[in-house]
Amino acid sequence: MSSLNIPMPREQLERIVRQIIWQQITVPLEAPGGATESAYTPNLVVNISARHLHMSKEHLEILFGPGAELTVYRWLYQPGEFASEQLVTVMGPNRKAIESVRILGPLRKFTQLELSATDSFALGITPPVRPSGQIEGTPGCLIVGPKGVVELRQGVIRAERHVHMSTADAQVYGFTDGQYIRLKVNSDCPAVFEHIFCRVHPTFLLEVHLDTDEGNACNLVNATSVELLP
Ligand SMILES: [Zn+2]
């Protein structure tokens, strides 16, 4: 899925370093007749989601020209999701700007900018913490592309920390879709994150998404182990 024959840019190296694959919970699955036939062991991955945009087709064409498409820069851990090669500048009030913000694909119905708290200070915007997709009443921003400008009326959020998991993962842990759980990160800055939103879907891979501030706060890059807790 993620084997693109392109040179590994610095960003990707950092991403791989940040990716903490860990947790071994082995739950024997009972075969008919009582014999233990196989075991399913979820691999918990905790990744930092740096600032990024999701985008509508309409906005993409304004920013990059009619007929513009997102092209794959790097596949992400969740199947079908990718970081695109398309970069834009986002601007808050008073012309405070952040350059080279990456658009994630595939395209969505609505445009959404996800920032860390530190990013939002730099832009002079105060976005609320929201689950992805819930953008009603959130602040907007200006998006500047090579071919045009979009004045986004709403859609700037600080993404609510969450975990993606398959139905099988949820069964192993005993969690359900929509439940809030906790994440423990063991490092030299250990932390327990409360209020991690569980998103269960058959095609999801087990992955926690924290933002840059959250990842830095617990020194996730140098974590020795991570653990999901009820
Ligand atoms: Zn996510």
The alpha carbon of 210 and the centre of ligand 1 are apart by a number of angstroms equal to: 8
Judge whether 83 and 106 are in contact, CB under 8 Å: no
The alpha carbon of 47 and the centre of ligand 1 are apart by a number of angstroms equal to: 9
The alpha carbon of 174 and the centre of ligand 1 are apart by a number of angstroms equal to: 20
The alpha carbon of 197 and the centre of ligand 1 are apart by a number of angstroms equal to: 10
Q: What is the pLDDT of residues 204-214, one digit of tens each?
A: 999 999 999 99
**Whole-angstrom Cα distance, residue 212 to residue 47?**
9
The pLDDT score that the predictor gives to residue 39 is 73
The alpha carbon of 31 and the centre of ligand 1 are apart by a number of angstroms equal to: 33
The alpha carbon of 159 and the centre of ligand 1 are apart by a number of angstroms equal to: 9
CA 34 to chain centre: 40
The alpha carbon of 8 and the centre of ligand 1 are apart by a number of angstroms equal to: 23
The alpha carbon of 209 and the centre of ligand 1 are apart by a number of angstroms equal to: 5
Buried/exposed code over 46-57 (b: 16+ C-beta within 10 A; e: otherwise): bbbbbbbbbbbe
SS3 state of residue 66:
coil
The pLDDT score that the predictor gives to residue 23 is 42
Q: Sketch out the chain's domains with CATH numbers.
A: 48-159 (no CATH), 161-230 (2.40.40)
E runs forming strands in the chain: 20-21, 27-30, 36-40, 45-49, 52-54, 72-75, 82-91, 97-105, 112-114, 129-130, 141-144, 149-152, 156-159, 162-165, 180-186, 191-200, 207-211, 225-229
The alpha carbon of 106 and the centre of ligand 1 are apart by a number of angstroms equal to: 14
The alpha carbon of 36 and the centre of ligand 1 are apart by a number of angstroms equal to: 34
**Whole-angstrom Cα distance, residue 122 to residue 137?**
21
Asked if the model's pLDDT at residue 65 lies above 50, the reply is yes
* % of the chain residues with pLDDT over 70: 83
Judge whether 197 and 156 are in contact, CB under 8 Å: no
The alpha carbon of 34 and the centre of ligand 1 are apart by a number of angstroms equal to: 37
The alpha carbon of 78 and the centre of ligand 1 are apart by a number of angstroms equal to: 8
**Whole-angstrom Cα distance, residue 125 to residue 141?**
8
pTM score of the predicted model? 0.83
The pLDDT score that the predictor gives to residue 160 is 98
Angle (CA) 52 77 24, round 5°: 130
The alpha carbon of 164 and the centre of ligand 1 are apart by a number of angstroms equal to: 6
- CA distances, 230 to each of 5, 101, 142 (Å): 40, 34, 40
Q: Based on the number of CB atoms within 10 Å of its own CB, is 10 exposed (0-12), middle (13-18) or buried (19 or more)? A: exposed
The alpha carbon of 44 and the centre of ligand 1 are apart by a number of angstroms equal to: 14
**Whole-angstrom Cα distance, residue 209 to residue 161?**
6
Mean per-residue pLDDT, 7-20: 47
Judge whether 77 and 45 are in contact, CB under 8 Å: yes
Q: What is the pLDDT of residues 131-150, one digit of tens each?
A: 999 999 999 999 999 999 99
Higher pLDDT, 191 or 7: 191
Lowest mean pLDDT among 4-8, 54-58, 170-174: 4-8
The owner of tokens 């590994």 is 8
